[in-house]
Amino acid sequence: MNQFTAGKHHDLLIDGQRVPAASGRYFETRDPSTEEVIALVAEADAADVDAAVRSARAAFEGTWGQMRPADRGLALLRLAEFVRRDQEELVELESLDSGKPVSAVRRQDLPAVIDTLIYYAGWADKISGQVIPARTDALTYTVREPMGVVGAIIPWNFPLMIGMWKIAPALACGCTVVLKPAELTPLTALKIGELALEAGIPAGVLNVVPGFGKTAGQAIVDHPDIDKVTFTGSPGVWRQILQGAAGNLKRVTLELGGKSANVIFPDADLDSAVKAAGSGIFFNTGQVCSAGSRILAHRSIYDEVVERLVARAQGVRLGDPRDSGTSMGPLISGTQMERVLNYIEIGRNEGARIAVGGARHGDRGYYVAPTVFAGVEHEMRISQEEIFGPVAAVIPFEDEDDAVRLANGTSYSLAAGVWSADITLGHRMTRRLKAGTVWVNTYGPTDVRLPWGGMRDSGYGREHGDIAIENFTEPKVVWINTGR
């Protein structure tokens, strides 16, 4: 077992020290592939969040707030080097804690973490304002100042990567962070906190408080001395976050769920389209906000798309996440497995046909076989509700207008894909589809330089790129009377 976890009790990280929770309570974190306990982790609640916020506030007003922006950037670059140095340990931890195949973490998550750190390290000394000549008798200009203490609540599907999507821009802007990882996947966040200290980031700048949403998460949302909440997770809790944030008018960024459509027109390259459609729903066991869970295929090619997708599903190799040949691991927990199996039963009862899969895989670990539903109607629950598992709903459409109607016909608007040899049609569809990201003849790639997020039930605001700088700073106007 990884040396970071073996036989360990993991305490909170507050003000640069590993400390037990004020309550003395610990919770278990389990390996989803075996259901075995990995380690015990201190369970933060309101008292611990308060201590972390006080530490973050002191660092914001002290060492970190007084540091030159260029030096903050150098600290982030050092952290990137330590992540690179310990990458194999981080890959193993992420796989152990979340059930993600090591090959996927090594290929996507870990490089994205390093890239995010390097990108925002470069921003640290380039956050500037403007001189705006409002009047001839005054010098008027703007500056962007760090927002303050940030409460970052991260999910369990990409804990390492999404955690860094929040940490790096916040720190580059001069903010300090109270980070709450999901209780199902707390280990890499604690490791990153230790590496940050080793990289010379002062105590209190990054505090890590694992715990449950109803206690630690709610305490972050409600805390009067947190200036900003950035949340990625279930769309079912956004109202609670906004209600809590109203107490002191916290700024809020929400990245929530999706029910994304992957639209395949009859002139598409079917080999590429179906390969990407399979990856779009089976990657990370379907536990992806932007998963292409609705595959819209033109009626003239519908049966062929279903047949090819079934073959892709049958080629998915389920197994031990630590095996380099495994292409799909388990779901995150027994609760999530039951949720996915329940939706499969709902789809069956609604009249959709299971073309492949549709059951638990094995009797150890939280595995569900890659599942493809054919004969799906737009109004069915498996077409409208986020399942967050390896379950594809294949839906026929008649023409472009029908495809747009179906693609836009849910409460989500995070992402969409379009497959066609007609680039004019591709451009037209990007304008008509309601989605924060539209991929044409590809599906799924993201980059920290490009905005990420959606509208409606998919979220509020955007992350990544220069927009993240706006997320963690406030503009200030300076007006100096020149007497002329």
Catalytic residue numbers read 255, 289
CA 413 to chain centre: 15
CA–CA distance from 418 to each of 276, 292, 423, 455 (Å)?
A: 11, 11, 10, 19
Tell me the β-bridge partners of 475: 144
Task: Give which of 10, 9, 13 is closest to 52, Cα–Cα.
Answer: 13
Contacts of 45 (CB under 8 A, 6+ apart): 21, 22, 23, 211, 215, 216, 219
CA 219 to chain centre: 21
Q: Report whether 38 contacts 187 (CB < 8 A).
A: yes
Lateral strand order in the sheet of 9-10: 9-10, 37-42, 26-30
Residue-wise DSSP of 417-442: EEE-S-HHHHHHHHHHS--SEEEES-
Task: Give which of 112, 124, 118 is closest to 170, Cα–Cα.
Answer: 124
Gap between the Cα atoms of 16 and 35, Å rounded: 32
Gap between the Cα atoms of 380 and 359, Å rounded: 20
CA 394 to chain centre: 25
Gap between the Cα atoms of 380 and 54, Å rounded: 49
Q: Distance from first CA to last CA of the chain, Å, rounded?
A: 72
